[in-house]
Chains A and B, each alone.
Chain A
């Protein structure tokens, strides 16, 4: 396994020592941990380093980690989940885990199947949207499909919400519960579900396995991560 140490120039570097133990002191599993060690050392020996320097380092490390995850070269499932979770932790350090957005902005990714153009969404109403972590739906019984955007009426949305509350009275009281929606631009169908946000990829994957879900959504890479393509719920199923 690749290990990092701090070289004689004070920088993180891959340890290539053939004879053990390597004389360059402490070793780390990855470059990010080595950088963190340097920062901590500088703080204790030379005083607090500037906030902007910390932020810049975090941004750089985040981009590196993001690229590693996007490259997808994972040793195994455990490694993949560790990498995704580390990225989520870094994202949270970078910018918090939720943001207030305009509904119009959130809905603007829905496309009309006729033209492929983005729907013009005018709502300036604010909503809280999760920005880090992993979303999966542990409630396959609360999914709904609309054949096209015009069917998403006030009455039907209310019916959707009321049906959920009838079965799970306190579901919307839970902190990490969200309504998830996406559309199939080829058919124009709109899918709604009730999702939970998990802070680790492993938790999201287990939630999918336990609830017959096809995939969870990685909020850092904006992609669905397949858990079981043979599952019956998730991206496709929903019912009137």
Chain B
């Protein structure tokens, strides 16, 4: 069966969704380091809440 989900418009949310999808489907959780690397590459400026969210979800 085919499944559909909305891709977030916000770049940060999209990145988090990719990390969740990849971790869930591949069976290997994505590390916080990997995510922070990606954020740096994209030159994203995170809010305090976003940093805390990443810490909570991926460390």
A interface residue numbers (CB < 8 A to B): 98, 101, 103-104, 106-107, 109-110, 119, 121-123, 125, 127-130, 135, 149-158, 161, 172-173, 177-182, 190, 194-195, 197, 217, 219, 222, 224
Contact = CB atoms under 8 A, between A and B. Distances in A.
Contacts of B19: 154
A129 B22 contact: no
Interface residues of B, number: 29
Contact of A180 (B3, B17, B27): B3
Contacts of A190: 25
Contacts, number: 110
Contacts of B14: 161, 172
B54 interface: no
Contacts of B50: none
B5 A129 contact: yes
Interface string B1-40: 1111111110000111111111111111010001100100
- Tell me the interface secondary structure of chain B in the complex: helix
B17 A127 contact: yes
A194 B1 CA distance: 16
Tell me what chain A mostly uses at the interface: helix, strand, loop, or mixed.
mixed
A110 B2 CA distance: 9
B3 A181 contact: yes
B18 A161 contact: yes
A153 B26 contact: yes
| Max chain B C-beta neighbours (<10 A), residue from A109, A121, A151, A156 | A121
B15 A182 contact: no
Given A127-B17, A154-B18, A161-B18, A104 B6 contact: no
